[in-house]
Amino acid sequence: MFIAKLAWRNIWRNKRRSLIVIVSVVVGVSSSLLNDSFGVGIMNQMIDNLIKSHDSNVQIYKSGFRENKKVIDVIPGKDKILSLIGRFKNINGYSERVISFGLISSAANSSGVSIVGVRPELEKNVTDIHKKIVSGRYLSYQRNEIVISKKVAEKLEVELGDKVVAVGSDIRGNVSSQMFRVIGIYRSGISEYDNINVYVPLSDAQQMLNLGNNIHEIAVSIKDYRKSSELKEKILAELSNNNIDKMLYEVSTFQELMPMMMAFLDVYQQWSYIIYIIIGIAVLFGVVNTMLMTVMERINEFGVIMSIGIRNSKLVKMIIYESLFMGLIGTITGFIIGLLIYYPMSIYGVDMSNFSESMASFGLPNIIYPKLNTIVIINTLLIIPFVTMIAGIFPAIKAIRLQPSEAVRFV
């Protein structure tokens, strides 16, 4: 306890130098907190946006459909599968879908699209396209309605109320077409989806493709995306328990549906570790430099201390305590400052609309909301004090190597 008190007093013997170290720690801590919270916010919003725009947490379809998207590959025994999924607890909901590549034409132009037939009341529990309507309204129970993206609308040069013709290949391989009226225009903020997906009532899609009552996909949504793999295993287990041949079906999580995006998130997470290393090294050298200067200025003092019999271990502790105390002061102050900056950003977000096109290519909205989690808080509060404590070891070793007789006479 005496050594700790002495170290605390030593810090304030040269206030200017100590404050320089503390300020550098404050900047490092607040920067790392904001950087990490911003990164977590980006990852959470990116995943959430991708899941809710179309992909959902888990998708079920006939084996081979995901790769080839053949109209004939409908889900076998879909009523039994829907009944099984409907009994699951802790899910937001599920949706039945018909999916087919086709061509949509207007009087001015045409565009290749993915025609997605849905039940509006079920799809609202899985995706949030209905919340991203920028003009008009979402699908209802009326026939021959279609919701298209803003990009598709601009390409076709159509507006609300205009008619378009969808053309595709039906289950028998024949060319089939149907006329729709544009009743809604959406913008999901994800270029990959906005460029291709159009939504029509499930019954219209089934009629157009001569599918009868069949569907191609069942999309399931849950609250916590991190439990998607757990849900997949549960679905496969239930198939086995109900004597359903699992080989007939393919069950995929959103991680499997978006491998490139997950790879990007992994790279982003690795980059955050690099940022920590850079900040840690900067703080490390700053503290080491300051403590070495302190040691050189106090050589006489250390000589006297060692001459009266103070053990080297206590001298090492004193120097390490000095660097640790400066790290703790800087960490606590930096954490508070970081929180004060973070709080309004977490409520109002950071407007990135100037980079909207680039953001959309990664599935990000124009406004980013930073997010603190337990890992960010632990990293922020522990890493910098640990680094400053380590930084005190080298100066401490330098001090105990001094010869007391020479240190006392040092000028």
Q: Are residues 44 and 67 in the same domain?
A: no
Q: Is residue 192 part of a domain?
A: yes
Q: How confident is the model at residue 388 (pLDDT cuts 50, 70, 90)?
A: confident
What pLDDT is attached to residue 373? 81
Do 207 and 267 fall within a single domain?
no
Q: What is the pLDDT of residue 404?
A: 57
**CA dihedral in degrees (372, 376, 382, 384; nearest 10)?**
-100
Two structure tokens written together for 5: 């008190």
pLDDT at 411 exceeding the cut of 50: no
For 247-285, give the DSSP string: GGEEEEEHHHH-HHHHHHHHHHHHHHHHHHHHHHHHHHH
Please check whether residues 36 and 62 belong to one and the same domain. no
Is 171 in the same domain as 279?
no
Domain interval for residue 92:
58-221
pTM for this structure?
A: 0.74
Number of domains the chain contains: 2
A 10 A CB-CB count for 144 gives 15
Instruction: Please report whether residue 316 resides in a domain.
Output: yes
For the stretch 225-262, pLDDT in tens is: 888 889 999 999 988 888 888 889 999 998 888 777 77
Q: Is residue 132 situated within a structural domain?
A: yes
118 and 136 assigned to the same domain: yes
Give the model confidence (pLDDT) of 336-364 as tens digits.
999 999 999 888 888 777 766 666 666 67
Q: Answer whether residue 264 shows pLDDT above 90.
A: no
In a domain, 274, yes or no: yes
Residues 37 and 72 in one domain: no
Residue 164 lies in a domain: yes
**What is the rounded CA–CA span in Å between residue 30 and residue 19?**
16
Residues 268-319: pLDDT tens digits?
777 777 877 887 787 777 777 777 777 666 666 666 666 666 677 777 777 7
Assess whether 76 and 121 both reside in one domain.
Answer: yes
